[in-house]
Amino acid sequence: MNVLKVPARTIAVFVLPCLILYIGLVFVPIVVAVYDSLLDWDSINKAKFIGFDNFKTMLFHDTNFWPSVRHTLGYAVFSMLEIPICLFVAALMNRYVRKANTLVSLYFVPVILSVVIIGQLWKTIYNPTDMGGMLNGILTSLGLDSWTHNWLTEPKIAMYCLYFVSLWQYFGYHLLIQYTGVQNIPTEVYEAAKIDGAEGFKADWYITYPMVVPIFKISIILAFIGSLQSFDLVWVMTGGGPAHATDTISTHMYNMSFLSFKYGYGSALATFLVFVCLVFTVFINFVFKKVEARYT
């Protein structure tokens, strides 16, 4: 195998600008946010160093903090639940659908739409009956009047409505990733398995699913970390309401930083969010390292 030998100095010329840009855009803001979290600061007047008081307030005295954590983790769990379904659908499409690429492209359409458009679209669908809400209209026409709700203004169900929209929006995204992984499995492997008597679902169970574990891991990490940072869709559809019933950590952080002018406290929430993302990324990598060692 021919290996292209490139001097280290040449590699540095290409890598260094990207590395500096990455550090400047990712690590420096994190360090600044961690420092700001130790301040009592409204972002306008002089800051006062208060140590870990913002974190104590966040953990023990903020009545909206733990509900926002619960909503965010719920968002992440629901987002991950659709990935095994996407893998199952991808395996079926690869085996039985002729023009599967076209179908995957159609599923991908919601991903390329602006979140503002998706939020406004689903707000219209969820509207009450007297405002022409399509969902309530369909339920009423089917004689299911008792099932109609003010979907986004009832605290017990508003968060689930947002979970559903997020699942709908990113189904095509994860389906595309899983379908690409399934397609990359060499056909020779299936042919060899067929000789040994493994076809259909048996071949999927022993070949397809184990061989796409690395792709599955990428989908899980993207879904989980993306959900922890959920802000735009929630903000467009409910603004965190009613009565903080759909607040996530990100919307709570925005409220504290820019509407309540508690920038130091908002930075403490941002630091907590970065810490949670880091912990779960390490945890998911640890779990999948064992799974990959077993199946690959």
- Note whether residue 104 is domain-resident: yes
pTM: 0.86
Q: Summarize the confidence of residues 142-150 as an average pLDDT.
A: 90
From residue 108, give the alpha-carbon distance in Å to each of 31, 98, 105, 228, 236.
36, 18, 5, 22, 21
For residue 236, the Cα-to-chain-centroid distance in whole angstroms is 17
Domain extent for 281: 58-293
Helices 134-141 and 115-126, interaxial angle, to 10°? 40
pLDDT at 117: 93
- Note whether residue 178 is domain-resident: yes
How sure is the predictor about 167, in pLDDT bands with cuts at 50, 70 and 90? very high
- Note whether residue 232 is domain-resident: yes
User: Which three-class secondary structure state does DSSP give residue 48?
Assistant: strand
Mean pLDDT (the chain) is 89
Number of domains into which the chain is organized: 1
- Note whether residue 44 is domain-resident: no
Pair type for strands 39-40 and 48-49: antiparallel
Residue 164 has pLDDT above 90, yes or no: yes
How sure is the predictor about 196, in pLDDT bands with cuts at 50, 70 and 90? confident
- CATH number for 82: 1.10.3720.10
Residue 145 has pLDDT above 60, yes or no: yes
- On whether the CB atoms of residues 229 and 278 are closer than 8 A, the answer is no
Q: How does pLDDT run across 200-246, given as a tens digit for each residue?
A: 888 888 888 888 988 998 899 889 888 888 899 999 999 988 989 99
pLDDT at 251: 94
- Note whether residue 153 is domain-resident: yes
Q: Summarize the confidence of residues 268-292 as an average pLDDT.
A: 89
- On whether the CB atoms of residues 71 and 159 are closer than 8 A, the answer is yes
pLDDT at 4: 62
- Note whether residue 265 is domain-resident: yes
Residue 133 has pLDDT above 80, yes or no: yes
- On whether the CB atoms of residues 209 and 87 are closer than 8 A, the answer is yes
